[in-house]
């Protein structure tokens, strides 16, 4: 009798673990996913060591075979990404990697930069989130960091840039992001670790990403 109870208890434990695992996979695949910020391309908005949650429902997301980069299909979103949103997407030049940047222009927009000032459809963008750490301005033709365009964003794509504008590798260099490569929009910082101080940044936990 005791052996039967022990066997039943083990079976129930295994079933509970399997169910919990499957629920976690469903949530990660279709609803929300955690990401860690590995670089400083989005400073000061996002710090190295910030851990964020990304909403996959609103913008839709590619559905991959779990723990692989093989896409099965794309979940339809409730809307398309808008200008100013911070999104996570599959890096176009290596879809095994995820990038996070801010949407600057959407399909049909004309975007350009003149001496580090960005214009969309001929209007200067007000970008309080941007930081510049290099006072030098690279001339047009040297590279597209400070001067580029005007270029028109194709329909079905977005143009993205990092907030740490002088130290971000983004659409200025490798082009547009197809909408079907977008994994979701950044929502909230749920944890932040300062590796230089080996201490949590408690003041960042719970901060809305915007």
pLDDT of 10 reads: 81
pLDDT of 6 reads: 67
113 is catalytic: no
User: Where residue 3 falls among pLDDT bands split at 50, 70, 90?
Assistant: low
Express as a percent the part of the chain with pLDDT over 90: 78
Q: What is the mean pLDDT of residues 121-145?
A: 96
Strands, sheet with 110-114, edge to edge from the N-terminal-most edge strand: 123-124, 117-120, 110-114, 148-152
Q: List, in order, residues 6 or more apart from 190 with CB less than 8 Å away.
A: 34, 51, 52, 53, 205, 206
71 is catalytic: no
Catalytic choice (41, 157, 168, 192): 41
pLDDT of 78 reads: 93
pLDDT of 21 reads: 76
Catalytic choice (56, 90, 101, 183): 101
pLDDT of 19 reads: 86
In sequence order, the β-bridge partners of residue 118 are 113
CB-neighbour burial class of residue 6 (10 A; exposed 0-12, middle 13-18, buried 19+): exposed
pLDDT of 71 reads: 83
Alpha-carbon dihedral sign for residues 15, 16, 18, 19 = positive
pLDDT of 4 reads: 62
pLDDT, tens only, 52-89: 999 999 999 998 877 677 788 898 999 999 999 999 99
Please state whether the predicted TM-score (pTM) of the whole model is above 0.85: yes
Pairing relationship of beta strands 117-120 and 182-194 according to DSSP bridges: unpaired
User: Where residue 180 falls among pLDDT bands split at 50, 70, 90?
Assistant: very high
pLDDT of 1 reads: 55
- Within 10 Å of residue 163's Cβ, how many Cβ atoms? 20
- pLDDT of 106 higher than 90: yes
Out of 16-25, 93-102, 192-201, least confident range: 16-25
pLDDT of 24 reads: 74
Just give the CATH number of 31-204: 2.10.109.10
- pLDDT of 140 higher than 70: yes
The dihedral formed by the CA atoms of 40, 179, 147 and 126, expressed in degrees to the nearest 10? -70
Please report where in the chains the tokens 């001067």 appear, as a residue: 147
Please state, in angstroms and rounded to a whole number, the distance separating the CA atoms of residues 38 and 36: 6
pLDDT of 174 reads: 98
User: Where residue 2 falls among pLDDT bands split at 50, 70, 90?
Assistant: low
- Angle among Cα 39, 42, 47 to the nearest 5 degrees reads 65
User: Where residue 189 falls among pLDDT bands split at 50, 70, 90?
Assistant: very high
Q: What is the mean pLDDT of residues 167-172?
A: 98
């Amino acid at each position: 009798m005791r052996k039967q109870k022990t066997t039943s208890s083990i079976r129930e434990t295994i079933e509970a673990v399997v169910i919990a695992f499957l629920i976690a996979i469903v949530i990660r695949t279709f609803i929300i996913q955690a990401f860690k910020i590995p670089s400083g391309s989005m400073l000061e908005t996002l710090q190295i060591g910030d851990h964020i949650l990304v909403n996959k429902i609103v913008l839709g997301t590619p559905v991959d075979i779990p723990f692989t980069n093989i896409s099965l299909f794309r979940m339809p979103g409730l809307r398309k990404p808008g200008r100013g949103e911070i999104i996570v997407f599959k890096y176009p030049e290596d879809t095994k990697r995820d990038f996070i940047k801010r949407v600057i222009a959407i399909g049909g927009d004309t975007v350009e930069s003149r001496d580090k000032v960005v214009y969309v459809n001929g209007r200067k963008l007000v970008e309080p989130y941007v930081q510049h750490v290099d006072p030098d301005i690279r001339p047009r033709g040297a590279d597209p960091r400070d001067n580029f365009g005007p270029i028109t964003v194709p329909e079905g794509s977005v143009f993205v840039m990092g907030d740490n504008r002088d130290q971000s590798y983004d659409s200025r260099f490798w082009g547009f992001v197809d909408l079907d490569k977008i994994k979701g929009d950044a929502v909230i910082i749920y944890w932040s670790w300062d590796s230089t101080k080996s201490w949590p940044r408690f003041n960042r936990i719970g901060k809305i990403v915007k």
